[in-house]
Amino acid sequence: MNIVVCVKYVPDATADRKFEDDNTVDRVGVDGLLSELDEYAVEQALQIKDKQADDTEVTVLSVGPENATDAVRKALQMGADKGVHVVDDAIAGSDALATSLVLAEAIKKIPHDLVVCGMASTDGGMGVVPAMLSERLGVPGVTLGSEISVEGETVKIRRDGDASTDTIEGSLPLVLSVTDQSGEARYPSFKGIMAAKKKPVETWSLSDLGVDAGSVGAGAAWSVVESTDARPPRTAGEIVTDEDGSGAKALVDFLASKKFI
């Protein structure tokens, strides 16, 4: 089986994140890393590979700036077999539609039975790319899996919703996205770290993919960020005073309204 995992290089969420003058996220001046939510995708791909016990190959694919190679390399350290990095100045500022176009064209050039994505990026956080990819590739999209199993040509997931738990299955080829509940991502082992140096990483440009530069980038985006404001400081919150025994209900109502319970 051939598995492609899509990963994003994102600004480190624990560091200061900034915007450029054009209101795009500054992805060069800050430390970046493999999006934590994509680590779960890499993990599931590697678990499928381990269970297949055949010549299953995992290719990690990233569209991003020069240093996005770091995200590819991290996935290779975790155990992926090879990497593809699509980098092109024209891609900067792309929205999800354009990103999914570039990803889809790259995936078409890589042998693939299964495409695995994280549930969303930790910076943009839209979570729409997996569905867009399935549309662009013309294959089923089995998304937001918190438990994944592969039997022959069938991929089965459990999707935990607010009101119900769904079991969804689809036949290969398909696009799968996994949540942060799908299983803790492994640490790269030292052998994995050392082996990753020797694993192949190909670098492709838009012309390699036959994608017109005019169809991607900030200029082609369907939505524009007009301004950004820093999040205001945390407010004091709401204090529930229990005078007549209704406090517990007020707490429960609050938690339910926020979907904590």
Partner 1 sequence: MAQTPLALFDTDSLLDEEERAIRDTVRQFVDAKIKPELADWYEAGRIPARDLARELGALGVLGMHLDGYGCAGTTATAYGLACLELEAGDSGLRSLVSVQGSLAMFALWKHGSEEQKQEWLPRMATGEAIGCFGLTEPDFGSNPAGMRTRARRDGDDWVLDGTKMWITNGSVADVAVVWAQTDDGVRGFVVPTGTPGFSAPEIKHKMSLRASVTSELVLDGVRLPDSARLPEARGLSGPLSCLTEARFGIIFGALGAARDCLETTLAYAAEREIFDKPLAAFQLTQAKLADMTLELGKGMLLALHLGRLKDAGRLRPEQVSLGKLNNVREAIAIARECRTILGAAGITLEYPLMRHANNLESVLTYEGTSEVHQLVIGQALTGQGAFR
Sites of contact with partner 1 (CB under 8 A)? 73-74, 77, 187-194, 197
Q: At closest approach, how far in Å is the CB of 103 from partner 1?
A: 26
Q: At closest approach, how far in Å is the CB of 15 from partner 1?
A: 11
Q: How far apart are CA 249 and CA 252, in angstroms?
A: 5
Tokens standing for 94?
């792309």
Q: At closest approach, how far in Å is the CB of 189 from partner 1?
A: 5
**Sign of torsion over alpha carbons 33, 36, 38, 43:** positive
Of 38 and 95, nearer to partner 1 (C-beta) is 38
Of 28 and 126, nearer to partner 1 (C-beta) is 28
Of 194 and 248, nearer to partner 1 (C-beta) is 194
Q: At closest approach, how far in Å is the CB of 190 from partner 1?
A: 3
Of 78 and 142, nearer to partner 1 (C-beta) is 78
Q: At closest approach, how far in Å is the CB of 13 from partner 1?
A: 14
CA–CA distances in Å: residue 92 to residues 83, 96, 108: 20, 12, 22
- The position carrying tokens 């020069």 is 66
Residue pair 92/218 in contact (Cβ under 8 Å)? The answer is yes
Contact partners, residue 135, CB within 8 Å, separation at least 6 = 141
Strands (E), 20-78: 32-34, 57-63
Of 45 and 185, nearer to partner 1 (C-beta) is 185
Which of 77, 75, 72 is CA-nearest to residue 87?
72
Of 60 and 137, nearer to partner 1 (C-beta) is 60
Q: At closest approach, how far in Å is the CB of 42 from partner 1?
A: 14
Report the 10 Å Cβ neighbour count for 227: 6
